[in-house]
């Protein structure tokens, strides 16, 4: 059945929730903080309502689907799926989310930014809802990584603290990295199963499990699940994540995000699960994690650290159950996920209250708090009893089921007795850390209300806003413990059916199953835990224990140190700060890559396009080029001479264009040459006039070899291409320029019409370069040398009279010429670029003739700053032309033209592209003047 409401469930917090919270919480006033929390709560409530609206259909056994293609080319679709499993998780995420939001509204200090907190929390909620609702593996991965990122942001919420930053980075590296490994697994799964749709894959489990690559895909997906769900040996990020604010720990790092890995194991159970390999790996990792985490938890002195390791242990318990082959184990796993979410979120909230009220979480300093916090103490006592697996709480029932499955497991480790033994040991340590949590915090110390040794010596009961969520969760623990079949039985059965792909065998959730082996083991675990704790605590020996890092953390740190060290060494080896060296490396690599393409095959020779015979003029120009290049190299230390010769090479270039049928290019090159030579000379006036001779001989030799190799490569490639025939899209342009573009100068039609978008980009670059120059030199006053290289003082002559008169006469003529060039551009050589450059030259001439100050005054240039407006105007006109086409329902920059007959002037060829070209013209004039006048302003500085 399709349901259009499904995408709303993750999208609502993603778009509306996060943006609204960021916006509302921007101002830090009490009203705004309350409003932000209220907005977040309202979103969570709406999500719950949306889920409730779908629940009847889902609980009746239907699977709701919603399908929207996103990037169908790679199999990524925004498909969502709501069955009972997804409903359970989505309800947990939004329900606990709502409680956490209420709790956090009172928890956060007045100077903690509320917008950042609730906005990121909304982001996380959306990501998590996306994971559980996604019906597409790739979509799921997108949300999966989004939870890693939002978790990173939330752990690092107090980003001024070192431990927050370290914890955030570690969590991101482990869970984000695991997600990437999982992506590889998903791609494999998609290839094997022929689809990324989970609904499709669920039907193809047998095919996938029989495939030779199944073990690889399973291994990769499991790495993702284990890192996210903090399974040994990837568990160590979770205790460090406790640097997050406590509401975050309660929400992400106990109730929801760390269960994402378990969710995925359940979701893909029909696809991947049930094999001996699956059972061996998941069951073993779960069992080891359960015992290990519980054991370490007993020895943690930090309240939240203890809870973190207990979470690791409980997650291990669930993973162990998922791994076990029997269907009832899945029922127990589903049930324990619910139970754990309830009691662990409650315990974290209680831990947050203790921290909030006393200012510390160190169990060695706390103790005897029951007198000061009787209500919180009672609630935590009840929640801890549920965690320890005592009757009549919910935790007891699911732990009994776990022990039952462990005792009767026949396939894991061949049904060895070590399995129930380890499971019982896990229960024993759980009882011990639960006991320690309550005892060390609320009883083990003097029972008075004033605690002199604490940072805050007067703890008292918090407001009900913080206690109410706690109370609600504890009530759930008790109620489910007392009436499990009534409250949870049907629902758990429904969810288990979705996990198994078939209805589970009959089971009854109950406190009392009669005297049997699991009950006996449970009693052993509780009593053993009591004894173990009593033994450790005798004479407070436990408080003297020094904690150390366990498991994967030393490995992670070793890898991190090694990677950072290697990166630093590589940087030192390659990046010595010498630009000369980088350029050499770059050119060398380019040469190598270019040569690589020809490696292995015979070198191609000349093609069959008949060559053009060289004319005497061409040979003369070629010889001139040789002479100029030799001159540039010979006189490179005398900069004025070299500059003039480089300008000469520009002239040769423009002759080349002219000779080979490119009049537009010749005109452009010629005008650019004029302005850029002026520019170079102006720059040179502020730089030393000569270069020292400092390169050692070996370096000159190396550079010459590199230069010749690069030059030879370019020449050879050019020759190869020029001697061959070619086919190009240009022929299309040639055919259609006149009938469709309305112009006979094809180059100009391409610029302003066919490739108008490119041109728009290019004039934007031009504008950016101009503004960049302004940013570089604005306000800079370069110190000019007072003496010339020969030691004579510079004198500043007034511009010669002839020049002034000529410039004044030339300006209107040049403007008329540029208008003419502009106007004819669509049909004859010319156009916006060339006309812009001609105008630029004419104006630059004014600068030279009447001086910087007068020209500035004339043009209102304000040291170049005003020309940014010209650039902006030009870009604006070009953009408006494009948008105008869009208003007429044509693609951006579509051109139109007509030939209206105007009295006196006759028939006129008018194209909307001409307006675009006008934008080009103004931008070019603006950018040219901007660069020159900024440089001119900089050189008006004081003499040194």
Partner 1 sequence: MTLLTMEFLVASGIGLTTAAAVYLLLRGRSYAVVLGLSLLGYAVNVFIFAMGRLWVNAAPILEGKAEVADPLPQALVLTAIVIGFATTGFVVELALRSRQENGTDHVDGGEPKA
C-beta of 475 vs 629, nearer to partner 1: 629
The token duo for 362 is 């160190």
Do 94 and 51 touch, CB atoms closer than 8 A? yes
C-beta of 149 vs 658, nearer to partner 1: 658
Do 405 and 505 touch, CB atoms closer than 8 A? no
C-beta of 557 vs 788, nearer to partner 1: 788
Answer yes or no whether residue 636 interacts with partner 1 by CB under 8 A.
yes
State in angstroms the smallest separation of the CB of 612 from partner 1: 4
Answer yes or no whether residue 613 interacts with partner 1 by CB under 8 A.
yes
Within 8 A by CB and 6+ apart from 62, the residues are 1
Give me the 744-773 binding string for partner 1, x by CB under 8 A, dash otherwise. xxxx--xx---x--xx--x--xx--xx-xx
C-beta of 162 vs 661, nearer to partner 1: 661
State in angstroms the smallest separation of the CB of 64 from partner 1: 54
State in angstroms the smallest separation of the CB of 797 from partner 1: 23
Stretch near partner 1 under the rule CB under 8 A, chosen from 77-85, 139-147, 199-207, 661-669: 661-669
Answer yes or no whether residue 913 interacts with partner 1 by CB under 8 A.
no
Answer yes or no whether residue 779 interacts with partner 1 by CB under 8 A.
no
Task: Please state, in angstroms and rounded to a whole number, the distance separating the CA atoms of residues 179 and 806.
Answer: 72
C-beta of 163 vs 758, nearer to partner 1: 758
Give me the 665-704 binding string for partner 1, x by CB under 8 A, dash otherwise. x--xx--x--xx--xx--xx-xxx--xx-xx-------xx
Our measurement of the distance from residue 768's CA atom to the centroid of its chain's CA atoms, rounded to an integer in Å, reads: 27
Answer yes or no whether residue 655 interacts with partner 1 by CB under 8 A.
no
State in angstroms the smallest separation of the CB of 845 from partner 1: 17
Within 8 A by CB and 6+ apart from 168, the residues are 152, 153, 155, 156, 241, 243
Task: Please state, in angstroms and rounded to a whole number, the distance separating the CA atoms of residues 422 and 433.
Answer: 16
Answer yes or no whether residue 617 interacts with partner 1 by CB under 8 A.
no
Answer yes or no whether residue 327 interacts with partner 1 by CB under 8 A.
no
Minimal CA–CA distance to 689: which of 825, 792, 796? 792
C-beta of 111 vs 694, nearer to partner 1: 694
Where in 790-829 is the site for partner 1 (CB under 8 A)? Answer: 827-829
Task: Please state, in angstroms and rounded to a whole number, the distance separating the CA atoms of residues 933 and 938.
Answer: 8
Task: List the one residue from 271, 317, 931, 937 that touches partner 1 (CB under 8 A).
Answer: 931
The token duo for 12 is 């609502």
Task: List the one residue from 517, 527, 708, 857 that touches partner 1 (CB under 8 A).
Answer: 708
State in angstroms the smallest separation of the CB of 799 from partner 1: 23
C-beta of 490 vs 758, nearer to partner 1: 758
Within 8 A by CB and 6+ apart from 812, the residues are none
Q: Apex CA 914: angle with CA 912 and CA 918, to 5°?
A: 125
Give me the 297-316 binding string for partner 1, x by CB under 8 A, dash otherwise. --------------------
Answer yes or no whether residue 503 interacts with partner 1 by CB under 8 A.
no
Give me the 548-587 binding string for partner 1, x by CB under 8 A, dash otherwise. -----------------------------xxxx--xx--x
State in angstroms the smallest separation of the CB of 924 from partner 1: 7
Do 350 and 461 touch, CB atoms closer than 8 A? no
Count CB neighbours of 421 within 10 A.
Answer: 13
Task: List the one residue from 510, 595, 712, 816 that touches partner 1 (CB under 8 A).
Answer: 712
C-beta of 4 vs 942, nearer to partner 1: 942
Stretch near partner 1 under the rule CB under 8 A, chosen from 167-175, 225-233, 562-570, 634-642: 634-642
Task: Please state, in angstroms and rounded to a whole number, the distance separating the CA atoms of residues 798 and 778.
Answer: 26
Where in 717-736 is the site for partner 1 (CB under 8 A)? Answer: 717-719, 721-723, 726, 728-730, 733-734
C-beta of 508 vs 693, nearer to partner 1: 693
State in angstroms the smallest separation of the CB of 787 from partner 1: 17
Residues in contact with partner 1, total (CB under 8 A)?
A: 114
Backbone angles phi, psi at 933, to 5 degrees: -80, -30
Count CB neighbours of 39 within 10 A.
Answer: 22
Stretch near partner 1 under the rule CB under 8 A, chosen from 125-133, 404-412, 488-496, 639-647: 639-647
Q: What 3-state DSSP class applies to 596?
A: helix
Minimal CA–CA distance to 316: which of 341, 282, 339? 282
Do 147 and 121 touch, CB atoms closer than 8 A? no
State in angstroms the smallest separation of the CB of 805 from partner 1: 29
Residue with tokens 């949300």: 143
Count CB neighbours of 607 within 10 A.
Answer: 15
Enumerate the H helices of 389-446 as residue ranges. 394-407, 418-438
Answer yes or no whether residue 782 interacts with partner 1 by CB under 8 A.
yes
Task: Please state, in angstroms and rounded to a whole number, the distance separating the CA atoms of residues 885 and 561.
Answer: 57
C-beta of 28 vs 827, nearer to partner 1: 827
Task: Please state, in angstroms and rounded to a whole number, the distance separating the CA atoms of residues 883 and 878.
Answer: 9
Task: List the one residue from 2, 4, 661, 889 that touches partner 1 (CB under 8 A).
Answer: 661
C-beta of 123 vs 646, nearer to partner 1: 646
C-beta of 414 vs 779, nearer to partner 1: 779
Minimal CA–CA distance to 894: which of 740, 678, 713, 702? 740
* CA atoms within 13 Å, Cβ hemisphere of 607: 14
Minimal CA–CA distance to 289: which of 316, 307, 318? 316
Task: Please state, in angstroms and rounded to a whole number, the distance separating the CA atoms of residues 386 and 392.
Answer: 8
Stretch near partner 1 under the rule CB under 8 A, chosen from 25-33, 75-83, 104-112, 742-750: 742-750
Do 369 and 358 touch, CB atoms closer than 8 A? yes
Answer yes or no whether residue 644 interacts with partner 1 by CB under 8 A.
no
* Gyration radius (Cα) of the chain, Å: 38
Stretch near partner 1 under the rule CB under 8 A, chosen from 188-196, 394-402, 900-908, 924-932: 924-932
Angstrom distances, CA of residue 498 to CA of 3, 87, 327, 503: 19, 11, 12, 8
Answer yes or no whether residue 657 interacts with partner 1 by CB under 8 A.
yes
C-beta of 33 vs 639, nearer to partner 1: 639
Tally of residues, the chain: 944
C-beta of 57 vs 782, nearer to partner 1: 782
Residue with tokens 């239907």: 62
């Amino acid at each position: 059945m399709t349901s259009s409401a499904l995408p709303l469930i993750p999208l609502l917090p993603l778009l509306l929730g996060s943006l609204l919270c960021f916006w509302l919480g921007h101002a830090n006033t009490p009203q705004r903080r309350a409003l932000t929390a209220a907005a977040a709560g309202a979103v969570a409530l709406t999500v719950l309502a949306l889920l409730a609206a779908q629940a009847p259909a889902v609980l009746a056994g239907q699977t709701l689907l919603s399908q929207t293609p996103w990037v169908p080319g790679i199999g990524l679709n925004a498909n969502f799926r709501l069955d009972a499993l997804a409903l359970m998780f989505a309800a947990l995420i939004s329900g606990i989310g709502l409680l956490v939001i209420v709790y956090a509204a009172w928890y956060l200090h007045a100077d903690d930014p509320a917008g950042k907190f609730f906005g990121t929390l909304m982001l996380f909620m959306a990501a998590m809802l996306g994971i559980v609702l996604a019906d597409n593996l790739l979509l799921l991965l997108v949300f999966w990584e989004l939870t890693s990122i939002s978790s990173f942001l939330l752990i690092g919420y107090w980003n001024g603290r070192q431990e927050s930053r370290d914890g955030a980075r570690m969590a991101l590296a482990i869970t984000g990295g695991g997600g990437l490994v999982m992506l590889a697994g998903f791609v494999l799964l998609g290839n094997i199963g022929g689809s990324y749709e989970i609904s499709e894959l669920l039907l193809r489990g047998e095919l996938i499990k029989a495939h030779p690559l199944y073990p690889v895909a399973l291994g990769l997906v499991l790495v993702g699940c284990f890192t996210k769900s903090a399974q040994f040996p990837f568990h160590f990020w979770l205790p460090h994540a406790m640097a997050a604010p406590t509401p975050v720990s309660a929400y992400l790092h106990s109730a929801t995000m760390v269960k994402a890995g378990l969710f995925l194991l359940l979701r893909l159970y029909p696809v991947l699960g049930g094999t001996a390999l699956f059972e061996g790996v998941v069951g073993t990792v779960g069992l080891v994690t359960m015992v290990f985490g519980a054991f370490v938890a007993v020895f943690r002195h930090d309240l939240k650290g203890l809870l973190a390791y207990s979470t690791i242990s409980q997650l291990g318990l669930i993973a162990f159950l998922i791994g076990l082959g029997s269907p009832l184990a899945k029922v127990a796993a589903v049930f324990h996920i619910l139970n754990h979410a309830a009691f662990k979120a409650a315990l974290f909230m209680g831990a947050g209250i203790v921290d909030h009220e006393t200012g510390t979480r160190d169990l060695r300093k706390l103790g005897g708090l029951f007198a000061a916090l009787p209500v919180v103490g009672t609630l935590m006592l009840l929640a801890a009893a549920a965690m320890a697996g005592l009757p009549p709480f919910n935790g007891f029932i699911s732990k009994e089921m776990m022990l039952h499955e462990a005792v009767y497991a026949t396939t894991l480790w061949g049904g060895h007795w070590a399995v129930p033994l380890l499971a019982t040991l896990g229960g024993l340590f759980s009882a011990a850390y639960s006991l320690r949590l309550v005892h060390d915090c609320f009883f083990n110390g003097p029972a008075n209300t004033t605690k002199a040794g604490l940072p805050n010596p007067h703890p008292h009961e918090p407001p009900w806003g913080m206690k109410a969520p706690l109370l609600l969760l504890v009530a759930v623990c008790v109620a489910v413990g007392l009436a499990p079949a009534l409250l949870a039985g049907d629902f758990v059965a429904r969810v288990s059916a979705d996990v198994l792909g078939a209805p589970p065998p009959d089971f009854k959730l109950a406190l009392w199953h009669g005297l049997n082996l699991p009950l006996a083991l449970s009693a052993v675990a509780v009593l053993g835990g009591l004894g173990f704790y009593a033994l450790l605590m005798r004479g407070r020996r436990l408080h003297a224990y020094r904690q150390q890092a366990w498991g994967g953390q030393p490995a992670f740190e070793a890898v991190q140190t090694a990677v950072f060290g290697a990166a630093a060494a590589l940087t030192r080896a390659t990046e010595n700060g010498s630009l000369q060296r980088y350029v050499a490396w770059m050119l060398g690599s380019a040469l190598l890559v270019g040569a690589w393409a020809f490696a292995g095959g015979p070198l191609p020779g000349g093609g069959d396009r008949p060559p053009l015979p060289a004319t005497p003029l061409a040979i003369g120009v070629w010889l001139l080029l040789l002479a100029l290049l030799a001159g540039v190299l010979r006189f490179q230390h005398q900069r004025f001479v070299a500059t003039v010769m480089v300008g000469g090479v520009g002239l040769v270039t423009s002759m080349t264009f002219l000779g080979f049928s490119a009049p537009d290019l010749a005109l452009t090159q010629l005008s650019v040459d004029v302005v850029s030579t002026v520019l170079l000379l102006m720059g040179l006036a502020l730089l030393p006039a000569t270069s020292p001779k400092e390169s050692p001989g070996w370096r000159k030799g190396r550079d010459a070899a590199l230069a010749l190799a690069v030059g030879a490569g370019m020449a050879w490639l050019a020759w190869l291409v020029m001697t061959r025939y070619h086919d190009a899209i240009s022929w299309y342009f040639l055919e259609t320029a006149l009938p469709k573009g309305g112009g006979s100068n094809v180059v100009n039609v391409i610029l302003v019409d066919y490739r108008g978008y490119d041109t728009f980009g290019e004039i934007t670059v031009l504008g950016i370069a101009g503004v960049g120059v302004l940013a570089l030199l604005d306000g800079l006053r370069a110190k000019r040398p007072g003496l010339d290289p020969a030691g004579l003082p510079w004198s500043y002559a007034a511009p010669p009279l002839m020049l002034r008169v000529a410039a004044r006469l030339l300006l209107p003529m040049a403007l008329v010429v540029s208008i003419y060039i502009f106007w004819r551009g669509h049909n004859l050589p010319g156009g916006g670029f060339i006309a812009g450059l001609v105008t630029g030259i004419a104006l630059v001439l004014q600068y030279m003739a009447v001086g910087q100050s007068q020209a500035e005054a004339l043009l209102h240039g304000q040291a170049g700053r005003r020309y940014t407006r010209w650039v902006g105007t030009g870009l604006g006109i070009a953009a408006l032309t494009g948008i105008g086409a869009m208003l007429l329902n044509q693609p951006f920059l579509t051109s139109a033209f007509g030939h209206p007959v105007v009295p006196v002037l006759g028939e006129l060829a008018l194209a909307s592209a001409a307006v675009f070209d006008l934008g080009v013209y103004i931008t070019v004039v603006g950018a040219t003047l901007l660069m020159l006048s900024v440089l001119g302003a900089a050189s008006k500085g004081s003499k040194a």
